[in-house]
Amino acid sequence: MNIRTRVGIIGAGPAGLLLSLLLAMEGIDSIVLESRSREEIETTIRAGVLEQGTVDLMTGMGLGERMQREGAAHHGIELRFDGSGHRIPLSELTNGRAITVYPQHEVVKDFVAARLKQGGSILFNVKDVQVSDVSSSQPHIRFVHKQEQMELQCDFIAGCDGFHGVARSSIPASGQTVFTRSYPFGWLGILMQAPPSANELIYAYSERGFALVSTRSPELQRLYLQCDPQDDIANWSDALILEELQVRLATRDNWQLLVGPIIQKSILAMRSFVIEPMQYGRLFLAGDAAHIVPPTGAKGLNLAVADVRHLARALTLFYKENRTDLLEAYSNTCLRRVWRAEHFSWWMTSMLHRFPDDDAFGQRMQRAQLDYTVSSRAAATSLAENYVGLPIDW
């Protein structure tokens, strides 16, 4: 069966869903193809920190009602090392900008609900997605939906299918350059039923490795521990996780971690990845399909949002004014911000983690950087500006 739309979008993550909503605001039709079920995408636990620009965009589009009610604006973060906490006053250093803690799966729920309410088309549980003819003016996507072989003909294809998606592989190797960096550690992340232990996020550097105290809601806390990326989660009992968190987060004034039942735990690897360019013919990659950052800088979801904002604008000018300049510039426009975020995420990661082969010199460098960051207004402002997010048109 053949169907047609202007923009075929692969992936119903934050990038694909937001793109479909932005295009709909301009009267441009699209169809979103998603390999998982609605329930699965609405319950997968991932990011939680939204930059000011992401919050402003969602609010301006009328998508921020639940986020304003249930999310929490944070005006600072804490860097903790040598048994002491040091607050970085984000808002004071950035003319009132802040971050909002609102879980990614709640963002996804809000986007799905909004798109379906508009009568938009999101096909869940699609299989065998294949992209064809992206060099022509009539690219198409073949896939199976409800046991039926389908073909979606479109003017443009947006590959928003995440790091493990299929869209990126349609770009011939000769037309792409890939940049990667793996880190010799992973993060063990838990969800714990407990009240928050702190009002703001705590990034802790300790002899035993990095720890992060984050939150999801007044009842549910998200915490992370640096660990061996090859480690088996079965080696980490709940008691061991809590003990390790307490040791890494200990302060001289006896700060207490509020604990409760751990309801989910997993280990994730950390890597940086960028493909250049982010476009080929009529295929445009956005979000994790084109780049990955280690989560230390909380940038992944926010980069996905910035990409699709540029893509929606470029497509709008194409359809309304027959202009192709923004489409041609799409990759370069996005990559400037992507590399800024790659650097910030790498910098935070390098400053806060223990490297397995690190010597005393390397550790002294980390301490010197931490000390400078918390004691120089200029250094703290640089961290704050990047953390709350550079303006969307930066």
Ligand X SMILES: Cc1cc2nc3c(=O)[nH]c(=O)nc-3n(C[C@H](O)[C@H](O)[C@H](O)COP(=O)(O)OP(=O)(O)OC[C@H]3O[C@@H](n4cnc5c(N)ncnc54)[C@H](O)[C@@H]3O)c2cc1C
How far apart are CB 204 and ligand X at their closest, in Å? 16
Q: Does 299 bind ligand X (CB under 6 A)?
A: yes
139 with 156: CB under 8 angstroms? Answer: yes
**Segment near ligand X (CB under 6 A); pick from 132-140, 162-170, 235-243, 277-285:** 162-170
**Residue in 299, 310, 330, 353 annotated catalytic:** 299
Active site (annotated) includes residue 387:
yes
How far apart are CB 32 and ligand X at their closest, in Å? 9
Contacts of 46 (CB under 8 A, 6+ apart): 103, 104, 105, 301
**Residue in 295, 310, 330, 353 annotated catalytic:** 295
Q: Which of 34, 110, 200, 342 lies at the binding interface for ligand X (CB under 6 A)?
A: 34
**Segment near ligand X (CB under 6 A); pick from 23-31, 57-65, 229-237, 293-301:** 293-301
Structure tokens at 307: 């990409």
Q: Which of 166, 223, 327, 390 lies at the binding interface for ligand X (CB under 6 A)?
A: 166
Active site (annotated) includes residue 295:
yes
Q: Which of 152, 304, 312, 335 lies at the binding interface for ligand X (CB under 6 A)?
A: 304
Tell me the three state secondary structure of residue 35: coil
Owner of token pair 């480690």: 231
Structure tokens at 155: 């003017």
Dist CA 391 CA 50 (whole Å): 13
Q: What character string, x for contact with ligand X (CB under 6 A) and - otherwise, covers 85-104?
A: -------------------x
Q: Which of 161, 200, 244, 342 lies at the binding interface for ligand X (CB under 6 A)?
A: 161
Site for ligand X in 348-377 (CB under 6 A): none
Q: Does 57 bind ligand X (CB under 6 A)?
A: no
Q: Does 123 bind ligand X (CB under 6 A)?
A: no
344 with 386: CB under 8 angstroms? Answer: yes
- Cα 38 to Cα 11, 108, 267, distances in angstroms: 12, 10, 24
Q: Does 165 bind ligand X (CB under 6 A)?
A: yes
Contacts of 130 (CB under 8 A, 6+ apart): 141, 142, 143, 166
349 with 296: CB under 8 angstroms? Answer: yes
Dist CA 213 CA 287 (whole Å): 25
- Cα 357 to Cα 225, 268, 339, 363, 366, distances in angstroms: 18, 20, 26, 11, 14
Active site (annotated) includes residue 299:
yes
Q: What character string, x for contact with ligand X (CB under 6 A) and - otherwise, covers 251-290?
A: -----------------x------------------xx--
SS3 content of the chain, % helix, strand, coil (to 5): 40, 30, 35
How far apart are CB 57 and ligand X at their closest, in Å? 13
Q: Which of 31, 33, 211, 388 lies at the binding interface for ligand X (CB under 6 A)?
A: 33
Q: Which of 7, 23, 24, 47 lies at the binding interface for ligand X (CB under 6 A)?
A: 47
Question: Between 93 and 108, whose beta carbon lies closer to ligand X?
Answer: 108
- Cα 12 to Cα 99, 104, 220, 314, 319, distances in angstroms: 24, 12, 25, 20, 23
Question: Between 104 and 386, whose beta carbon lies closer to ligand X?
Answer: 104
Contacts of 43 (CB under 8 A, 6+ apart): 105
Q: Does 302 bind ligand X (CB under 6 A)?
A: yes
Question: Between 10 and 311, whose beta carbon lies closer to ligand X?
Answer: 10
Q: Applying CB under 6 A, what is the total number of residues that bind ligand X?
A: 36
Site for ligand X in 176-235 (CB under 6 A): 189
Question: Between 298 and 334, whose beta carbon lies closer to ligand X?
Answer: 298
Nearest Cα to Cα of residue 54 among 67, 66, 44: 67
**Residue in 102, 105, 196, 203 annotated catalytic:** 203
Dist CA 313 CA 300 (whole Å): 20
H or E element: which one contains 61? none
Query: Residues interacting with ligand X, by CB under 6 A?
Result: 10-16, 33-36, 41, 46-49, 104, 126, 129, 160-162, 164-166, 189, 268, 287-288, 295, 298-302, 304
By annotation, the residues acting in catalysis are: 74, 203, 295, 299, 387
